[in-house]
Amino acid sequence: GAVVSQHPSRVICKSGTSVKIECRSLDFQATTMFWYRQFPKQSLMLMATSNEGSKATYEQGVEKDKFLINHASLTLSTLTVTSAHPEDSSFYICSARGRGVMEAFFGQGTRLTVV
């Protein structure tokens, strides 16, 4: 399958700071990227969908000013958690899909801990 690389895999940040997570498609052009959040022992909840070159579409209940998503190129999307708080601690995972392809391939995920 296609390769999606997510970085960093783990990050610890202080409350009030911002942290950026990168999601890269290494061997295909990702026309659509998705960002999910997963709480311990729970399912993946879609946060937002982004298409290259356009603004992200956020799911209901997700604060777009807090979770900034940028999909500036066909191989890179970033999620910035702004003014992080301990309740933002979670596992964030991205997926990417190419044009005309049904499967979305997932990154390795990022475990964010806000202290």
Nearest CA to 94 out of 15, 22, 13 is that of: 22
Shortest spacing between CB 83 and another protein, in angstroms: 25
Q: Does 106 bind another protein (CB under 8 A)?
A: yes
Q: Does 90 bind another protein (CB under 8 A)?
A: no
Q: Does 107 bind another protein (CB under 8 A)?
A: yes
Radius of gyration of the chain from its Cα atoms, rounded to whole angstroms: 13
Q: Does 93 bind another protein (CB under 8 A)?
A: yes
Alpha carbon 19 to its chain centroid, in Å, reads 12
Q: Phi first, then psi: what are they for 88, rounded to 5°?
A: -85, -10
Binding region for another protein (CB under 8 A) out of 21-29, 61-69, 75-83, 99-107: 99-107
Nearest CA to 5 out of 81, 75, 90, 82 is that of: 75
Please give the residue ranges that form the binding site for another protein (CB under 8 A).
1, 9, 32, 34, 41-44, 46, 49, 91, 93, 95, 102-109, 111
